[in-house]
């Protein structure tokens, strides 16, 4: 994949990010062709660099979530390093950051200050709770956002301890919203010529998922709770027991319900007065699932999936990640790919779900060594070799991890 074909080619993005939300957002932009310059602290860099497992001395998570980026290592508390950073800002299109609200302002790098320097700059902030409001100053990690957003109240099984979603969903979707907002702001800048400020929080990102719960609460006042794998509003739509595990089913439309019952020899359910439609089946879900499992528990997952696939009924086995990462369908679609890294060799990557027919996403390099691009980026921004040497000698910058 060549960089010139990607849709955001020519867009320069500065990232001051740590851990997940901002780096995940800029990974999307980098995949789409943006030149993402990851500005990290000169000592240690992004804390994810210290997160295992490790490939040699490099963090395995880091080299995946920071692919297709360049690394510049600067201590932004140093006046000299800040001046060098401001040269990058003058030429940038986007800045993405996820420091605690107010931290960028205390460095003299808040939106208002940078807008004076570069009125075309799109400035995007991710935070736990947003840039204002009574919670804004509090630390906010993914699990806190999952807790306060209601997600943990509906995750897991009834009468079980609280459970979070298995991946850092608030972090990740905050990053996706951030990337979407940046592309929208760039489109607006095409019309107006001016940048703008973007404020996205993990909290609101988590609340935005409550589509079914909001439909119920704002209509009836009912507060949802955990349902295991079952759907909030339809049945049967959940995992059911097989002889060797579980299989997920979704037989909620009239056509799929009829095909489901026919495929598993449950045709008596089609005339049962308790189950004429999906809403009625929801009201009688406990009895319905018990009846379905009298059949499915005597058959293997593979047999059930085969029968339901033949009947055109939505279903799937529950895969672990060992199976996912070796999945034949994903292999045919070339989802996984290997990114080059200068010290650890090829690094297997999760593919981008965005498949653009004419301007495909980039597949270039794994996450860079700390400061790998400090010198080349600062030279391109107008810094002189002596200035860069001074920054490195003073500890205000790092080049090539040294």
H-helix or E-strand spanning residue 201 = strand 197-201
Q: Is residue 171 annotated as a catalytic residue, yes or no?
A: yes
Contact by Cβ (8 Å): 11, 37: no
Q: How many residues does the chain have?
A: 402
C-alpha neighbours within 13 Å on the C-beta side of residue 207: 10
pLDDT at residue number 4: 56
Residues of the chain under the 70 pLDDT cut: 1-4
Q: One of 31, 142, 171, 199 is an active-site residue; which one?
A: 171
Tokens (6 digits) for 57:
């001395």
Rounded to whole angstroms, how far apart are CA atoms 203 and 110?
A: 22
Domain with CATH 3.30.1540.10 in the chain: 237-322
pLDDT at residue number 402: 75
pLDDT at residue number 3: 46
Rounded to whole angstroms, how far apart are CA atoms 257 and 240?
A: 15
pLDDT at residue number 1: 42
Contact by Cβ (8 Å): 97, 17: yes
Q: 237-322 has which CATH code? A: 3.30.1540.10
Look at residues 389, 370, 400 and name the one whose alpha carbon lies nearest to residue 80.
389
H helices then E strands: how many in the chain? 17, 14
Domain with CATH 3.40.50.10540 in the chain: 3-208+331-398
Question: Following DSSP, what letter does each residue of 264-312 receive, concatenated?
Answer: TT-GGGGG-TT-SSHHHHHHTHHHHHHHHHHHHTTS-HHHHHHHHHHHT
Contact by Cβ (8 Å): 236, 249: yes
Rounded to whole angstroms, how far apart are CA atoms 42 and 37?
A: 14
> Architecture of 3-208+331-398 per CATH?
3-Layer(aba) Sandwich (3.40)
pLDDT in tens, 77-115: 999 999 999 999 999 999 999 999 999 999 999 999 999
CA angle, corner 369, sides to 110 and 104, nearest 5? 10
Phi, psi (rounded to 5 degrees) for 342? -70, -20
Q: How many CB atoms lie within 10 A of CB 13?
A: 24
């Amino acid at each position: 994949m060549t960089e010139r074909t990607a849709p955001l080619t020519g867009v320069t993005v500065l990232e001051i990010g740590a851990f997940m939300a901002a780096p995940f957002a800029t990974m999307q932009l980098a995949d789409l062709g943006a030149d993402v310059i990851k500005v990290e602290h000169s000592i240690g860099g992004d804390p994810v660099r210290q997160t295992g497992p490790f490939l040699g001395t490099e963090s395995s998570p880091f080299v995946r979530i920071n692919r297709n980026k360049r690394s510049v290592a600067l201590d932004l508390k140093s006046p000299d390093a800040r001046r060098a950073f401001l040269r990058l800002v003058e030429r940038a299109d986007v800045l993405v950051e996820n420091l605690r609200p107010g931290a960028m302002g205390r460095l003299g790098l808040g939106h208002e200050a940078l807008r004076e320097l570069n009125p075309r700059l799109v400035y995007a902030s991710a935070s736990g709770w947003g840039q204002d409001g009574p919670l804004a100053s509090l630390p906010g990690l993914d699990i806190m956002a999952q807790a306060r957003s209601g997600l943990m109240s509906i995750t897991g099984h009834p009468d079980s301890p609280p459970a979070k979603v298995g991946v850092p969903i608030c972090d990740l979707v905050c990053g996706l919203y951030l990337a979407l907002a940046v592309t929208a702001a760039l489109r607006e800048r095409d019309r107006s010529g001016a940048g703008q400020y973007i404020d996205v929080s993990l909290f609101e990102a988590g609340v935005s998922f409550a589509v079914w719960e909001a439909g119920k609460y704002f209509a009836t006042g009912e507060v949802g709770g955990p349902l295991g794998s079952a759907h909030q509003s339809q049945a049967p739509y959940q995992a059911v027991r097989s002889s060797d595990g579980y299989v997920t089913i979704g037989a909620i439309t009239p056509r799929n319900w009829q095909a489901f019952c026919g495929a598993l020899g449950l045709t008596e359910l089609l005339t049962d007065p308790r189950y004429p439609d999906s809403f009625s089946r929801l009201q009688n879900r406990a009895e319905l699932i018990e009846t379905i499992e009298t059949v499915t528990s005597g058959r293997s997952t593979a047999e059930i999936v085969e029968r339901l696939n033949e009947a055109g009924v939505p279903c799937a086995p529950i895969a672990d990640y060992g199976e996912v990462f070796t999945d034949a369908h994903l292999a045919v679609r070339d989802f996984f790919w290997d990114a080059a890294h200068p010290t650890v060799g090829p690094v297997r990557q999760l593919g981008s779900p965005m498949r653009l027919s004419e301007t495909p996403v980039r597949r270039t390099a794994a996450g860079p060594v700390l400061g790998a691009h400090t010198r080349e980026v600062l030279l391109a921004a107008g810094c002189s070799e002596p200035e860069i040497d001074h920054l490195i000698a003073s500890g205000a910058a790092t080049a090539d991890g040294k």
